[in-house]
Every structure is written in C-alpha cells, then in structure tokens.
Amino acid sequence: GTGAALQGELIGEPLAYSRSVSGKLRRQSTSVDSGLRAIGGDSSQAAYGVGMEISIKLSREATYIDEDGAVHSAFQE
C-alpha cells in the first residue's frame, strides 16, 4: 500500500489514523512529523513497564558437567 493514514472523525473533529505510530499523514512522505500522538484501544488488560538502570553481563565461560553428572554454569559459579 501507499502507507496513507485513513481519514475519519472523532466527536465531529477530523482525524487521521493508521496502524503505525507517527505524526505523519503518510509514512513514506517528506512531510514534517507533527509530534502529535494518541493511542486508543481496550485498556482493561493493558500493561506497561519502565526500564530503569538496566545492566547486563556477557559471559564467555562455558557450561560443564562434573564427574557426578551435575551441570554447572562457570559464569554463575
């Protein structure tokens, strides 16, 4: 498709809507993003989260099996 937003009305006011989140009326256009955002839907089971100070660790250590058959992570031990 063309990526054009669909046109409609909400409480008598004109609006454009699409499945993407953008302030542009056409996704692939050179028009300036309006900055306007609205998200609607059934919020009865909505969930959101905020990531704060997330850290990760990378491991180059292996997992090994000892002589008793127990599995060990060298990274965690």
Which residues, in sequence order, are CB contacts of 36 under 8 Å at separation 6+? 23
- H or E element in which residue 9 lies: strand 6-10
Lowest mean pLDDT among 11-20, 21-30, 43-52, 55-64: 21-30
Residue-wise pLDDT for 3-32, tens only, equals 556 677 777 777 766 666 555 555 556 666
Is the per-residue pLDDT at 67 higher than 70? Answer: yes
Token readout for 23 is 């302030």
- What residue ranges do the domains of the chain occupy? 1-41
How would residue 56 be classed by pLDDT, with cut points 50, 70 and 90?
confident
